[in-house]
Structure 1
Amino acid sequence: MTLRELRCYIRQLPTGSRTRIATGDKDSIWGLQEHLTAVVIDELRTANWQRSNEGVEKRKQSSPPKPVPRPGVGGGRADKNSPQRLQARQRALQRAAERKRALAAGEIT
């Protein structure tokens, strides 16, 4: 069996199977029912927040509720210290330094 065949077999497993979860498939942790329940919870929390702040000055209102975190859904900002972000930042700094050097040497104007 090739690795490709094995990957295809794993993808065909049921969404809640331990093998899919162990391979890092975060989408399989929650099914449709769980996602819909999270949406209902978010809507109820927002509605309660709106009612509790009704008639209150804008500056005295509480902050709106944050949505229920969902696995496999990128809902937040990227980690500032992630390896990809640090690598992209390092490349940008190198390009800026190279451009500054070329400007100082008169290679570009």
Structure 2
Amino acid sequence: MRRPVESAQYASETYRRALDVAGLRGSMSAIGNPYHNAQAESFMKTLKVEDVYVAGYDSFADVAERLPRFIEEVYNSKRLHSALGYRTPEEFEIQLAQKAA
């Protein structure tokens, strides 16, 4: 029986040890389950297409400065999300809070 190929780079002992030293826990789904990381992959694609490829990041300082701005000012406040009925996360949360009140 042939097993699907795992991402060896993320399962390596060296990588797992580095995570442990940093106090982090790796996130890996079961073998053959491509959906575990779908939300993160979708966000990364959006970030790359709508910000990184357009303006480029030259340094870690660029990332530290611009990534929070992209998340707060674009991704959460302006960008429509199909999973939220084509509303922004900000609009969705406001409407959810109003319904709960």
Query: Do they fold alike, i.e. is TM over 0.5?
Result: no
Shorter-chain TM-score: what band?
Answer: under 0.3
| TM-score, length of structure 2 as denominator length | 0.25
Larger RCO: Structure 1 or Structure 2 (Cα < 8 Å, ≥ 6 residues apart)?
Answer: 1
Pick the structure with greater CA Rg: 1
TM-score w.r.t. the length of structure 1 is 0.24
